[in-house]
């Protein structure tokens, strides 16, 4: 499946996958607006079940593209630094 990936100009590590280059017609307006002024084209790839993606389950991405016409890759969760313990506290 031909896929075009765009990144948000507003939020780091937020990506949008669509099936037609520069065609955001399937993307809800609120989601499109949350990407910033205009999503930035990153790359075109051919998605197949045989080729895994780095941070997404390729089967879910393909399913979302077929069902709704887009897929959103959210940024990874931020580490909780409030509960961070110094390495020395783990040593007996």
Give pLDDT tens digits for 25-70: 999 999 999 888 889 999 999 999 999 988 899 999 999 999 999 9
Query: Can you tell me whether residue 66 is helix, strand or coil?
Result: helix
Higher pLDDT, 21 or 78: 21
Is residue 68 situated within a structural domain? yes
Residue 90 lies in a domain: no
pTM of the model as a whole: 0.80
CA gap 4, 16 in Å, rounded: 8
Within a domain: 92:
no
Domain of 20? 2-85
Is 36 a domain residue?
yes
What's the chain's length in residues? 92
What's the CATH number where 67 sits?
3.10.510.20
> Does residue 73 belong to any structural domain of this protein?
yes
Number of domains in the chain: 1
Candidates 53, 57, 33; CA nearest to 43 is: 53
Q: Determine, yes or no, domain membership for 91.
A: no
Within-domain flag for 26: yes
Question: Three-state DSSP class for 21?
Answer: coil
77 in any annotated domain: yes
């Amino acid at each position: 499946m031909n896929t075009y990936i765009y990144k948000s100009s507003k939020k780091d590590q937020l990506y949008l996958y669509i099936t037609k280059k520069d065609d955001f017609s399937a993307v809800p307006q609120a989601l499109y607006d949350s990407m910033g002024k205009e999503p930035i084209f990153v790359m075109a790839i051919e998605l197949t079940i045989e080729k895994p993606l780095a941070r997404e389950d390729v089967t879910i991405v393909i399913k979302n593209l077929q069902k709704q016409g887009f897929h959103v890759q959210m940024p990874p969760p931020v580490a909780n630094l409030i509960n961070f313990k110094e390495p020395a506290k783990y040593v007996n």
